[in-house]
Amino acid sequence: MEKYVTLTDLQLVDLLKKDDSDAFSEIYSRYAVLLVGFTSSKLFDLEDSRDIIHDVFVKLWQERKQLKVDYDLKAYLFKLTRYRIVDKIRKNITRQEYAAMVNSLAVSYGVTTEQEIAAKELAQIIETSLDKLSPRVKEVYLLSREENLSIT
């Protein structure tokens, strides 16, 4: 086990692909604590975090053959974890704590949709105003905007 501590993530993934269970244990001891810190800061039941950690590492083992050698292991593990956290929240949506969380998503979603609409309207206004300009002036404007050329 000792020698695994000094290996890089890439080397560990390489060993994992060759069914090295010690490499697997080293990956666990490197990232499980980070992942449980992440899940428990989002979920209200530590048992749910346990399920997720269990799932994520079982998945890592099952998919080991398909892992690319140059995989960013940490990002991969966090991505798997994030999907499972959202899944847990989704399944527990009737719990008051999660209902409150989802409500705040409704708020931010509402805001961004409004912003998108506003941005679209603005783009339209610019478009129609441009059509009123002479073709040459319009071209100058478009070049300055889109090609970052100076007006002078």
Contact set with other proteins (CB under 8 A): 21, 25, 28-29, 32-33, 36-37, 40-44, 46, 49-50, 53-54, 57-58, 61-62, 82-83, 85-87, 89-90, 93, 96-97, 100-110, 112-113
Q: Which structure tokens are listed for 8? A: 């890089």
Using the minimum distance from each CB to other proteins, give the nearer residue, 97 or 139: 97
* Shorter beta-carbon distance to other proteins: residue 8 or 104: 104
* Tokens of residue 11, six digits: 């080397």
Residue number, 71 or 141, with CB nearest to other proteins: 71
Query: Considering the complex, what minimum distance in angstroms separates the CB of residue 6 from other proteins?
Result: 21
- Quick check: 13 and 71 in contact, CB under 8 A? yes
Q: How far is CA 77 from the centre of its chain?
A: 11
Distance CA(143)–CA(152), nearest Å, equals: 12
Given the complex with other proteins, which of 28 and 141 has the nearer CB atom?
28
| Closest distance of CB 77 from other proteins, Å | 13
Distance CA 61, CA 75 (A): 16
Q: At closest approach, how far in Å is the CB of 151 from other proteins? A: 32
